[in-house]
Structures are given as C-alpha cells and as structure tokens.
Structure 1
Amino acid sequence: MTTHLEQLQNALGTALGDRVTTTVALGEITLVVAAADYYGVMQTLRDDATLGFDTMIDLCGVDYSTYGDGAWDGLRFAAVTHLLSVKHNWRVRVRVFAPDDDMPVLASIVPLWRAANWYEREAFDVMGILFEGHNDLRRILTDYGFIGHPFRKDFPVSGYVEMRYDPEQKRVIYQPVTIEPRENVPRVIREENYGK
C-alpha cells in the first residue's frame, strides 16, 4: 500500500517527467525547476487533474550567496513557492533559480494565481528579483526613493541613505548615512567564584 506522500511523488513524476528534480526531506517534497520551464511546470501543477494545486500559499525570494558558510557555488537568487491542493490535501514546494545573478529575471505566475501579485512585488522590492509579465512590479515595502534591495546578503546593515526632517527646508530630506560602521564585541566578565 502506498502512502499519501508516495502517491504525490508518483503523480508529480507522471505529470512533470524530467522537467523537475524532486527531493523529499522531513516529509515534504521540493521540486527544483529550471527558469525556462518554470511557468509551464506551474501551469501543469495547477491544471493537471491528478495534481490540482489550486492554491498558492506563499512565494518568497532567497539569496544563496552565503549559503552553507559560503560553500555554495550555484546560482545566487531563487524564488520559492508553496502550493496546496485542497482537493487532494497535498502540499509541494517549488524552487526556481534565476539564470543571471546580475539581473535575476523569472516568469510571473500572477496569471495562474492572482495571490502571487503582492508576493512577487515583495520579492522584487527586498531581493531585486524581476518577474517578467507582472503588470504592476513596483516597490511594496520600502519607500519610493529607496536605493537597493535590503534583504540581499551584500546590503549594508545601516543602508546607504537616511532620511530626516529638515526644519529649515520644512520637508523630509535624504542624506548619506552618518553612522560609522563598527563591530561590537561584547565585554565578558568572568568571576572565579560565580555561583558558589
């Protein structure tokens, strides 16, 4: 007798073939798909009756530049999507890597799941991943004048600019960051007879 997870694996293998790489860990299935096949695979996951992934739960951008303490040598940016089939009570994770680290571009899945709209805008805003075919790709969390993408691993903790209210100009102005970068090392005091 096959388990629920094995049934899902078999259905995914039949529907998607060699367009994906499948891994199973901790009772969860992750599909890794090439950027060129991303939209087609997502459409199959939604439209194939044996799969029926009708709900997109989450989509986020990931920066793998320092993954595994810098041992990672693959592509830098990925979009990770979680899908749910209400009918079959199945969940699957789909990971797609952007083929260009300097200009990460992936296909938008908003035409398949309208819920992806704000998730893709967030991934663009904080990671800089562009979604081709998205009809309203603009910042959603940061300010319109914000420079850079704050969740990238190479983004400075203090940012590039700061804003403050200038009473002479009677408006908010942007200026370069005035905080000097420093490394805080906590001072540790050890007492020989502590707790005795």
Structure 2
Amino acid sequence: MTTTPTLDTLKASLEAALGEQIQSIKNELGELTVTVKAAGYEAAAKTLRDHPELAFEQLVDLCGLDYSDYGNGASPVAEGPRFGVVSHLLSISKNQRLRLKVLCPDDELPLVASVTPIWNSANWFEREAFDLYGIIFEGHEDLRRILTDYGFIGHPMRKDFPTSGNVEMRYDADAKRVIYQPVTIEPREITPRVIREDNYGGL
C-alpha cells in the first residue's frame, strides 16, 4: 500500500519524536499504526499528545486484544506476547489520525500503564479492557469491572473463555436473593440440517 504525502510526513514526525520507543510503523487501511514498547508506553502517549507536530488531543477508542491462535498460528504475532492494547487517536488541529498499539510483556499478568491521566476518555475503555480481557492498567484510579457483574468469574473476550461461562446466576425463592452456582448447561455440538435443492420437499 502506497503512503500519501500526509502519511509520509506523519511517519517522519513520529520517528523523530518517538525515536527508539517505536517497535514498528505500518500503513494499514490508509492509517498509520505505530507499535511502541510497553516500558515507554506512557511517555510515548504524552509525546503524541504534547508534541507540536503531532498534537493528538483526543483518544477516540481503546480496546484490548487477544492474539492467541491468531491466524491459526500462521502469523508471527502468535509467537509473541498474547495480549495487547490498541488506541485510536485524533488530532483535530492537524486533521490526522493514528492507531497506537502496545503489547503486554507478561501473558500471565498482562499489564501496561494507564493513559487515563493523559486522555481522560480512556477511563471507561480501560475498565472495559480489564473486564473483558483481564488487562491491568497500572495507575488507573478506579480499575473495576464495568460490563459484567461482581460475581462474574473470568474474562469473557479471552479466546480460551468457555462459551457457556463458568458460573450461572438465578433467583432463589427460599433464600430470597440471587445466587451463583456452577454452570449446569451440558456442552453439545449442534450440526445444522442441510437441505439439498434436488430433494427439497420430497420431490
């Protein structure tokens, strides 16, 4: 994919401003994706916001990633860290966008710095990534579940999370409260019935 002069200029500005913090820069879907090292993630985010040639004042979106079994093992990403975080940034003053990616170094305890002090719009996005993927955002002042309830076990967007979940809840009339219990659904595979046109309707 060829880069436009605007993207070429942005790429040069990123390389000059971030230097060795950059792991890679790619042009994907007409937008630059810059991957930075986890150790320098917070500093890189501040630079992206404050550098006069970049000026990414707004964080539009932030989400977690689970690269396990990515591309059925065909991608080199599958051999690296499992979890990552992607943010979409917008510079209104420069009329440009950027995708910022960071990979969590430890699969057992996926952790990166919080960017909420830099862009306060990251607050609920980071809580969502924590809830759904179990990614810890160090420095977040209120990191707790936001979509699942307090009795939920696990992180439902992880690729190894069971389809039926780990626990189920129901109202107990005797106890007069909601209780949690192990899942009682039996896992089964449903194969759809295939109808062939030449035999349709018994013809």
**Residue from 35, 41, 64 that aligns with 2:44:** 41
Instruction: Find the aligned partners of 2:197 and 2:47 in 1 and give their Cα distance.
Output: 64
Instruction: Find the aligned partners of 1:174 and 1:120 in 2 and give their Cα distance.
Output: 27
Instruction: Find the aligned partners of 2:189 and 2:179 in 1 and give their Cα distance.
Output: 28
Instruction: Find the aligned partners of 1:147 and 1:162 in 2 and give their Cα distance.
Output: 10
Instruction: Find the aligned partners of 1:70 and 1:143 in 2 and give their Cα distance.
Output: 33
* TM-score (norm. length: structure 1): 0.95
Per the alignment, residue 34 of structure 2 pairs with 31
CA drift of 1:172 comes to 0.8
**Residue from 186, 189, 198 that aligns with 1:183:** 189
Per the alignment, residue 54 of structure 2 pairs with 51
Stretches of 4+ aligned residues off by more than 6 angstroms: none
CA drift of 1:96 comes to 0.4
Instruction: Find the aligned partners of 2:70 and 2:28 in 1 and give their Cα distance.
Output: 18
RMSD (Å) for aligned C-alpha atoms: 1.6
Aligned pairs, number: 195
Code of the aligned partner of 2:123: N
Per the alignment, residue 5 of structure 1 pairs with 7
CA drift of 1:85 comes to 0.5
Q: How does 1:119-130 map to 2 (within 5 A)?
A: 119-130=125-136
Farther-moved stretch of structure 1 (116-125 vs 63-72): 63-72
Instruction: Find the aligned partners of 1:146 and 1:24 in 2 and give their Cα distance.
Output: 39
Give 5+ residue unaligned stretches, structure 1: none
Code of the aligned partner of 1:150: P
Percent identity between the two aligned chains: 60
Give 5+ residue unaligned stretches, structure 2: none
**Residue from 157, 164, 167 that aligns with 1:161:** 167
Q: Aligned to 1:192, what secondary structure does the other structure show?
A: helix
Instruction: Find the aligned partners of 1:179 and 1:137 in 2 and give their Cα distance.
Output: 31
Code of the aligned partner of 1:52: A
Q: Aligned to 1:61, what secondary structure does the other structure show?
A: strand
Question: In the alignment, does 2:68 pair up with 1:62?
Answer: no
Instruction: Find the aligned partners of 1:66 and 1:13 in 2 and give their Cα distance.
Output: 31
Code of the aligned partner of 1:101: D
Q: Considering fraction of residues, name the structure with more helix.
A: 2
Code of the aligned partner of 2:28: A
Instruction: Find the aligned partners of 1:57 and 1:12 in 2 and give their Cα distance.
Output: 19
1:65-115 deviation line (CA, Å, top 9, x unaligned):
021113321110000001000000110001100000010010001110111
Per the alignment, residue 174 of structure 1 pairs with 180
Q: How does 1:109-124 map to 2 (within 5 A)?
A: 109-124=115-130
Farther-moved stretch of structure 1 (181-190 vs 58-67): 181-190
Q: Aligned to 1:112, what secondary structure does the other structure show?
A: coil
CA drift of 1:16 comes to 1.2
Per the alignment, residue 150 of structure 1 pairs with 156
Code of the aligned partner of 1:136: D
* TM-score (norm. length: structure 2): 0.92
Q: Aligned to 1:69, what secondary structure does the other structure show?
A: helix
1:145-176 deviation line (CA, Å, top 9, x unaligned):
11100110000011011000111111111111
Question: In the alignment, does 2:95 pair up with 1:93?
Answer: no
